A and B are shown apart, each in its own frame.
Chain A
Amino acid sequence: MRYHVLGFAIAASLTTVPAFAATPEVAMAKECGACHMVYPASQLPARSWTALMASLGNHFGENAALDSATTKQIADLLTTTAADAAGRNNRALRGLSATQTPLRITETPYWISKHGQGRVAATALAAVKAKSASDCVACHAGASSGQFDDD
């Protein structure tokens, strides 16, 4: 297996920092890292992040709502650093039609093509103690530079 350096920020424990006083990066690490790893913005187009941030009240079977100021702060950061943002490497968008708005990275054609056509074996997940294929850090360890790099 190759190991890739992914730009996944590990959620810092910043529970004492009030969200409104924080930079967008700090707010995202705290709020989006509360339940799972902080997913890299570079893996979905801006329209996906906009849709995801507009539906936090029903987020994959849970309420993950935030106050409107923090929602906007994080939405702005995600959309300006998304896969299709200016100057970005948009490899993650390969095969994705402009009319599709996936809410999951694991639903993009590119991700699926890189992970056994989406069938990540249960044994592979168990070997790294991942609950699901959405637990990227279980296989793509390390890295916190904020950029997505496959070497």
Chain B
Amino acid sequence: MRMTLTALAFLSASATLAVAAPGPAQQAQLDTYATLAKAVDPAFAGFSAEHGKTLFLAKSTTGKPDTPSCTTCHTADPTKPGQTRAGKAIGPMAISMKADRYSIPAETEKWFGRNCDSVLGRACTPLEKGDFITFMVGQ
């Protein structure tokens, strides 16, 4: 029994690792955000998928009224396609469903800039951006 459980735990751990590995371009962006996060807080010790998930699902009252949450357009399930307010389809945010996500820094920065302002009424910090991508890499 204990053997089986250990084997299962090992299997699921390795499966998670295989899915959760960022590609080189995504890793490069994570490294950039990590450098910036460390510059802000020398105690920075790595990104948190859990915090990224919280940011993604949170309801905000500090941004623009029509966009209270990231989920307004991206839906609450990162593996599902989303929709803009005008009705245009948005590809899933999870890299398991869309492998080229977070691989062009200018695009990622443009959308963080817009969407954090629309939803939160402020820019996201490098820590928040890294947490968000870390969460999406595991989805």
Question: Do B113 and A65 touch (CB < 8 A)?
Answer: yes
Most buried by A among B84, B107, B110: B110
Q: How far is the CB of B108 from chain A (nearest CB, A)?
A: 11
Count A-B pairs with CB separation below 8 Å: 53
Q: Is B29 an interface residue (CB 8 A)?
A: no
Question: Do A62 and B104 touch (CB < 8 A)?
Answer: no
Q: Is B88 an interface residue (CB 8 A)?
A: yes
Q: How far is the CB of B71 from chain A (nearest CB, A)?
A: 15
Question: Do B107 and A135 touch (CB < 8 A)?
Answer: no
Among the listed B87, B100, B104, B110, which residue makes an inter-chain contact with A36, where contact means beta carbons less than 8 Å apart?
B87
Determine the interface band of chain B, counting residues with CB < 8 A from chain A: 10 to 19
Question: Do A61 and B67 touch (CB < 8 A)?
Answer: yes
A side interface size, CB within 8 A:
22
Q: Is B24 an interface residue (CB 8 A)?
A: no
Question: Do B114 and A64 touch (CB < 8 A)?
Answer: yes
Interchain CA distance A19-B106 in the complex, whole Å: 9
Q: Is B64 an interface residue (CB 8 A)?
A: yes
Q: How far is the CB of A92 from chain B (nearest CB, A)?
A: 21
* Chain B residues engaging chain A, CB cutoff 8 angstroms: 64-67, 84-88, 100, 104, 106-107, 110, 113-115, 117-118
